[in-house]
Structure 1
Amino acid sequence: MQADRTKIARQFIEGLPHCNALGMSLSSIGEGEAEILMPYAEKLIGDPETGVIHGGAVSALMDTCAGAAVMSHPEAGLATATLDLRIDYMRAAKPGATVTAHAICYHMTRSVAFVRVSATDGTSDVPVAAATGAFTVERGKS
């Protein structure tokens, strides 16, 4: 059952148009954890003078990764949607660096999943951003 849940989550994430547009790729998923990579690209630049990636791209990466973690959780429902996502941006990602999001679904109720996400670029011990979120848990009819 867990293998099926992980396969469905992987297919869903890989099929999302915004993931493709932003160059995201799923690195790993399963048991309530997910990791998604977003390589640096000129189309993601938010500040042309510095080459820094726009915060919205980082936000989309973290939200998508969190949803993937929820979908792969052993107690997950059939679908999920973001209820709340609070992101703290700690520093700009280094221009040219791939940004990696790692999410953990750490608590699941009947109807809400809670997730922690970090985004890093491999150039510092300080994350690019950290987030906490709440997601719906949509279950099928019993």
Structure 2
Amino acid sequence: MQGFDPKLFTDFAGRVGHGGSLGITYVDHGEDWVELGLEYAEKLIGVTETGVIASGPIISLMDMATSMAIWVRLGRFRHQATLDLRVDYLRPAVPGRRIIGRGECYRVTNSVAFVRGVAHDGDSADPVAHVTGTFMFTK
């Protein structure tokens, strides 16, 4: 983890672009995993009557968390593209709660990284979504 600091990156990404628009924040990280947070906000609600956050912001959270898990595992930033990201959306998030997305990189080859992750709203035993995916290195 010597060359890549996910907290600094998330602090920057949380102010600009897509991550900034969604309000994604750094939570924690380890050798091959990153946790990011998505605060509850009215602009993220999918159905006004229920107050439930739309699935799109959750997918974006997990794409960012799994991407960053690769960089943490490598110890540096590397250009990559999401090749495949399967999201099993298991249940709606509880309105008003922050969503935590944990991405893990479990294998890296010369050209592809393999990831998995989980999103929850405070109870990791009852997740909102599971993800698995692959990222292709572009350089």
TM-score computed with the length of structure 1 as normaliser: 0.87
Supply the distance in 1 between the matched residues of 2:70 and 2:138 (Cα, whole angstroms).
11
Q: Which residue does 1:62 correspond to in 2?
A: 62
Q: Which residue does 1:41 correspond to in 2?
A: 41
Cα separation, partners in 2 of 1:137 and 1:77, compared to 1, 3 Å: farther
Q: Which amino acid aligns with 1:66?
A: T
**1:124: Cα distance to partner?**
6.5
Q: Which residue does 2:2 correspond to in 1?
A: 3
Supply the distance in 1 between the matched residues of 2:37 and 2:128 (Cα, whole angstroms).
13
Q: Which residue does 1:136 correspond to in 2?
A: 136
Aligned length: 136
Q: Which residue does 2:99 correspond to in 1?
A: 99
Unpaired runs of 5+ residues, structure 2, are: none
Residues 9-51 of structure 1 show CA distances to partners (whole Å, capped at 9, x for unaligned) of 5444433311111111011234221000001000100010000
Q: Which amino acid aligns with 1:15?
A: F
Cα separation, partners in 2 of 1:25 and 1:77, compared to 1, 3 Å: closer
Unpaired runs of 5+ residues, structure 1, are: none
3-state secondary structure, aligned to 1:104: strand
Supply the distance in 1 between the matched residues of 2:52 and 2:77 (Cα, whole angstroms).
37
Supply the distance in 2 between the matched residues of 1:75 and 1:15 (Cα, whole angstroms).
18
TM-score computed with the length of structure 2 as normaliser: 0.88
Whether the 8 Å CA contact 1:13–1:68 is kept in 2: the answer is no
**1:126: Cα distance to partner?**
1.5
Residues 33-81 of structure 1 show CA distances to partners (whole Å, capped at 9, x for unaligned) of 1000001000100010000000001000010101010111137662222
Supply the distance in 1 between the matched residues of 2:123 and 2:36 (Cα, whole angstroms).
17
Cα separation, partners in 2 of 1:43 and 1:81, compared to 1, 3 Å: same
Supply the distance in 2 between the matched residues of 1:124 and 1:10 (Cα, whole angstroms).
22
3-state secondary structure, aligned to 1:18: helix
